[in-house]
Structure 1
Amino acid sequence: MKLKVLYILAVVCLNLSFSQTDDKIILDSIDVYNQFSIRNNDFSIEERLKYANRARQLSIDLENELVILKSNKNLSEIYWDYKKYNLYKNVNKKNLVLSLKLNDSLSFADANSNLGRFYRINQVTDSAYYYYFKAEKLYRELNDKYKTAITLLRIALIQRDEKDFTGSELTSIEAISLLETLEKTDDVKKNKSYIYNNLGLVFDQLEQFEESIVYHEKALRIKKGLKGNNKTTIDNSKNNLALSYKNSGLINKNVKEYNKALKYYIEILSNKNLINERPDFYALVLDNYAHTLYLSNNHKQLPELYFKALKITGSVNPGGYNSIIINQHLAEYYNDKNNKDSAKFYAYRAKEISEQYHNDDLLKSLLLLSEVEEGNLSAKYLREYVKINDSLQKNERSIRNKFARIRFETKQIEQENAQIAKERMWLLIISVVLIISSFLLYLVISQINRNKELKFIQKQQETNEEIYNLMLSQNESIEEARTLEKKRISEELHDGVLGRLFGTRLSLDSLNMSNSVEAIKTREQYIGELKTIEQDIRKVSHELNTDFVSGSGFIDIIKTLLQTQTLAYELDYKLDHDDTINWDGASNKNKIHIYRIIQESLHNIYKHANATRVNISFKLKNNVICLIMNDDGTGFDVNKAKSGIGLKNMKSRVSEINGSIKITSEIDVGTTVIIEAPNYLKQNLL
């Protein structure tokens, strides 16, 4: 009280001295008023605001921008304490202009940080992130590690709220690293505990509960070691730690985790004054305690504890945020007890309140209603849940994209400012050198990549030919084995079964001398049947011993190629082939060339022709194999078209088999390729 009287006397003396024109006296007065305004233990918020406004007005009268900036900074903090947030924003907007004009980087950073603080409390996330990000860059340039770390913490909190958990984790760890380099004052320790608390909440959301518990325990240990009365923040950490244990027990189905959670909840609730000091927090903890009892199948005190928590919340903040969770827990409890009416009542109440708040709680309420309701109503709420969930995920991705864009744009502005500071001539020289170097480097890299690509294609072709040779060799081995097996079966039928049947028929012939008419008829029937069987077996034997049409193996390979490639290229195809061609007599090398020619043609059709159908036929004319391929594509001018690598490869392969190639094409009609291979299969024709 005496100190307050002294302050008042000082103000009176200052007012008496205003008749003087000495600027120093005015500056001293401003300083005294500012000192009064920050003494929150000696003056009420109204008195502090009055002194701060007086200091600011004197600064304006003095027309000293540096002093105005200082007074504005002091006034903004009082606006914040007084919850006059719009005035807080306006004065910091002015501070941005003043500090930029005065080239005061620290004040400019502080103004950006304060605006980030304003937009965060008003839930304008992208704007808050933008100003915090700018402040962090400025503090970093000023090598102010403490303020950089604090700003990083605030950015991490925004990232966690927007479910950018990985970003929040990385930002928090960076902030911790900066604080570790500073002297371990109480302020540094306190902010370290806040960062650890954020990491605990992040890992809890990621369902990495062991890590979450470790960080919450670190935060709790630090808070317990701080000077002064830190009961409030210690209770917050205990509640967060208990929540991690509860969630761990829920996911891992571990009763021991529930018991650990209950231990911390009981510690918090044991404070008899908590219900009067922090009734909303008391209700929150009481609800968490009740829900943990429910999860651990200890229902003795339920639902009374839920009702008590709901009553306290209603008396402090009717329809408040905490009441959503309590109503959800009551609905869950009654649904478990099969009391559908009560379950629906609390589920609908939770949904009604959650519609005013964050979508996460609305999602939980809709999912709960889909479980409580039945039939069409259940399906309706489930559809709403899916729709809002999809919308929320898109919004979260959009926010994260905005964060990335803000970082990018900020860095871009910084780079542009750095470039402007350079000499234009140096900039031009460096740009030219970079362009020339980049172009040369591009040419070198392109040539290297081109050579690698050609070597790879060559190696792939060699490998494919080797594989194809193996396929054809295996096919020949299979055909040879098949022929031997048919011959063996033919011999077995002829020498074994036919011999026995023939003997049986002779025996029956000898018995046919019986005078019985009925016996004679019966024997004649048996003899007739045996003759039929004998003829059938002879027929089968003859067919098995007759070699089947050769060359079907190569045609099957061509069919497989067409089926695979046309499916990939989305083409229809038709294959006609002359069965009189004996492909088995051709060398593997020649068949590979034909296979590759067809493959290359299909690739060219897909790449250049925009066709929908391709027809391929093998014809035998005067001992010459004719391969004809035509498509219904766009066609081209044969005389003007350049020969690419694919066409050159085809011509080379045709030359290898001593053949000829003819290409005709018509615009918008299609292209026809005719390949003739004379004489090289002459000795293999049937």
Structure 2
Amino acid sequence: MGNIKYLQGDFINSEAILTKTLPYLKKIKKPRYAWYVYVLLGDNYYSTDDYSNSLLYYKKALNLKQSNFKKTKVLIYIAAVYIEQKKYEKAELILLVLSKKKDIYLKDKKLNDSEYARILYHLGLSYLRQGKLEAIDYFNRTLKIQLESEDYDALIETYKSTALFYQNINLKKSKQYAKEAYKISLKKNAISNKIVSLKLLIETSEGAELKKYSQEYLKLHDSFNTAKLKAKNQFARIKYDYNREQEENLQLKAQTIDNELQLERQKNRNFVLYIIISLILSLLTFLYFYLKLKGKKQKNDAIFESDRRISKHLSDELTNDVYQTLTYAENCDFQKDENKEKLLSDLDTIYSRTRNISKEHSLISTDKNYEIALKEMISGFKTPELNIILNGFDLISWDNIEKNKKIILYRVLQELFANMKKHSQATLVSINIKIIDKNLTIIFNDNGVRTKNSTPNFKNGLQNVENRIKTINGNIIFDKNSEKGFRISFSFPL
């Protein structure tokens, strides 16, 4: 693409396209692609009179590992740049060394001769620019080779330079060579070469020929200037488009960088979020195990407390009776029947109390027989002096209540009856059970001796009642305004 633009005379776009290839050249192992790019860049800069950059890229191409033929071509280009820079000694040093080589390292003889002719031509051009007569010898040798090889493009340049050499020495010969250059220019339709050739013919002609060449020159010159102006405008548009493209590329790069920064920020935010989530999960895991261990400890504490209460109960209820019975047995005369009967009666009393305590702390049936077991436990507190009324028990679907809640209810009622029996001297107890807003509500009421507006004595077992209800997310209310007796209501979610 860069070469096409160069051949079209679009040097600015050619340079822009070739510049885009530079980052990729480092990734290519074979150096010939870099050589093509560097040489073409050098040609672009040479064509726009930018000899410094032209020399820079020609030297880059020269430093690559290439064939001797390619090195020779580049050395000729470098010499041409030195001639334009008027560094004739440097140009001649290169060209004289090359001119002494019999072989330009290429198998195709025509190309060999063509490159050798270029060496000779540039030597002649260097001498011509310095006004040295040796120039004509090199031009003649060049023309001979180019005529044999039919290298017409190169012949135009050589004829023009030879005509210039004779311009101040022999006008006839100058006109002859200018005509040859003009003929080939017509054949190749090379406008710029035709103009230069016509200018030489005008300077060496008279009369009708002078008029003829002058008219042709003016016609071509106007046409060339118009084409040049169009090309200039085209180059301006190309340069504008290129600059706009560069600006768009810069904006695109800026947008890309901004997007990358946004992505990086998002990654950082995600990283921080992951850390926070990890910390929260770790905290939740810690809390889970902590609460689990705490619950286990509370359960163990409850078991310990239950064992302690059983032990205390046994101690309170039986220790004194057992001690008195043992004392009686040691000192009693069992020869008498009444003594034997008293001992048996005392032992029977101890047995009955022991059995009742055992029933209080035994395992609770939570299956379909739960309602029967609950009623039997309550009826166990009934005496000739105490009546118990139950309301709503048969309306409850006990199978739908969780096992642990059944156990809590059983123990709470057991605790309330034990507390009532021990402290209230009640003759009537009523228990109402009903379901309100998906909560099981129990109202316990007795007519025992109480003081109005008094706070219940939790030390008498009621603290255990409250603790048990709270373990199942329940609520408990002690009625302080009851004029007589004791009233408590509690509820828990089903």
Q: TM-score if structure 1 supplies the norm length?
A: 0.32
Q: Whose radius of gyration is greater, 1 or 2?
A: 2
Q: Which has the higher contact order (CA 8 A, sep 6+)?
A: 2
Q: TM-score if structure 2 supplies the norm length?
A: 0.43
